[in-house]
Chain A
């Protein structure tokens, strides 16, 4: 199968990455060569194989619902890209 320009634009949209025409063309080429390589998997019959989701044979642990973090609210806010005091700032969402 081949990945065309339309598909590249569609998945770019899904991934929230803006892509111009020139880059989309290059990406389509790259993705096609990668998927050609990936298609070797079709040689294998996996009809009856269980998918492996994790190699770590563990069950998720439950823990007490208690507060552990130190008071790092200000440090967290300091990393936000827009100037603020008590909250994260984003472009206007609701008109």
Chain B
């Protein structure tokens, strides 16, 4: 088979199960292609030789009952992997080797998957273009010098370039869905509490969720089925009846009501995105679902709320990086001096900016005006969604207000960078599931995504809607291997 790396996850599994391909052959193919794709800068740390050993062991005694039998998978470098360096894209964790495994990755290995390597991301997942990584920019395989989105930019690029059959990212304000949209791939952020946060380097604990990124909706459903589990080790993990997302996947969405929120028609949105959205609405109607106009009046307050809540939580979470027990240390004259130098040299500019915003909004005299205010507005944002979900089953919006932009285009203006997440952030604040699917291209030929937002714990419905739309959209990524 010549194009093993182009096969979807489900196709690879089928080939392994009927013994047309071995895990070793598959793993080798992805390694070879990854070796030839260094220019994309997707890997921070590879695990190639261990992966080959694991593949060999799998092939000697293959267990075909597993859900991911012998499938090599690279993951975002925000998941702690036992014995394999985990950096979170930061200098401060440059030499950190976790002595334990994140629950989400462990679930994948338990189902037969093999760690291929750790993928680049924005530093501590703070960014929308993968430009804040200590390990450098990632190239979007769609075109040279384009950002792959962020923060799961190494993941989206590696997936779109066929360097891994699927991957997992994390999403705090859009970090799975926005890079998926920028690379013509599928990305799902599950309901808060679905996938364990244990062993994921923390950014903003009340918002962070891990989720699948894939070439198609069926692959996302299968990977979600593997990683969505109750976990005692995460105090915010929730017990609820999880579907068998892949076997229950259906393209019958007749009679569902899909909301179109008026407030997502933001000022200055390119016409092609408006058109893409209209196309999505027509497709939904074609599938036999009903379109309902809805209103989410607090939409425009979501980003300002996010830029209080997320930095506040980050400033607290990142207080642990002090140069004492692990990570980078800079020598100082005394203990305080050592802390200050370590954190100044160990963190990049965007991370420091957010720590300072967070420190400020939590500091004495400002807490009520900023942090408490933001938590109250967050309540209103959630109530908006609660209200509309009395009348609709899901919501359709664009994923992003633009397609992939040039490397360096937005690095000087933090606010313009933050606006990338305008359609994805409300979903995190309300704790809802959301999926981005590729839906078309703009006049530059770059992919554009549509987002489907669901009710809490109703991943199955958004997967079904995405699956039905995917069939009718029939999107094909146009990737030329220009980097080889």
Contact = CB atoms under 8 A, between A and B. Distances in A.
Given A17-B343, A40-B300, A46-B377, A31 B332 contact: no
A60 B327 contact: no
A75 B372 contact: no
Contacts of A53: 206, 375
Contacts of B372: 51
Given A56-B238, A75-B99, A11 B301 contact: no
Contact of A55 (B206, B235, B333, B347): B206
Nearest to B378: A52
Interface residues of B, number: 69
A38 B415 CA distance: 10
Interface in B332-358: 332-341, 343-344, 347, 352-353, 355-357
B72 interface: no
B360 A52 contact: no
A66 interface: no
A6 interface: no
A12 B415 contact: no
Interface string B285-307: 00000000000001011011101
B9 interface: no
A42 B96 CA distance: 42
A27 B356 contact: yes
A79 B325 contact: yes
B376 A51 contact: yes
B97 A63 contact: no
Given A37-B307, A46-B373, A11 B360 contact: yes
The DSSP consensus for interface residues of chain A is: loop
Interface in A45-81: 46, 49-58, 60-61, 63, 69, 72, 75-76, 78-81
B308 interface: yes
Contacts of B429: 55
B328 interface: yes
A7 B315 CA distance: 17
Nearest to B315: A15
B67 interface: no
Given A18-B341, A33-B415, A38 B304 contact: yes
Interface in B360-381: 360, 363, 370, 372-380
A58 B194 CA distance: 12
Given A53-B375, A55-B430, A17 B304 contact: no
A54 B304 contact: no
B241 to A, nearest CB: 15
Contacts of A56: 192-193, 236, 238, 431
B329 interface: yes
Contacts of B328: 81
B359 A44 contact: no
Interface in A74-95: 75-76, 78-82, 88, 90-93
Contact of B347 (A17, A37, A82): A17
Interface in A15-49: 15-19, 27, 30-31, 33-34, 37-44, 46, 49
A80 B321 CA distance: 12
Nearest to B300: A40
A66 B27 CA distance: 40
A60 B372 CA distance: 22
Contacts of B336: 16
Contacts of A27: 352-353, 356
Given A34-B357, A81-B327, A51 B375 contact: yes
Given A16-B340, A17-B344, A31-B353, A50 B376 contact: yes
Q: Which of A37, A56, A72 has the most CB of B within 10 A?
A: A56
Contacts of B307: 34, 37-38
A60 B298 CA distance: 30
B235 A60 contact: yes
A31 B360 contact: yes
A65 B340 CA distance: 36
Contact of A37 (B324, B374, B415): B415
Contact of A41 (B305, B324, B333, B379): B305
A58 B456 CA distance: 14
Contacts of A44: 298, 301, 377, 380
Given A34-B418, A75-B97, A92-B335, 6 more contacts: A11-B359, A16-B339, A33-B413, A43-B301, A56-B236, A79-B96
Interface of B: 95-97, 99-100, 192-193, 206, 232, 235-236, 238, 298, 300-301, 303-305, 307-308, 315, 322-329, 331-341, 343-344, 347, 352-353, 355-357, 359-360, 363, 370, 372-380, 382, 413-415, 418, 429-431
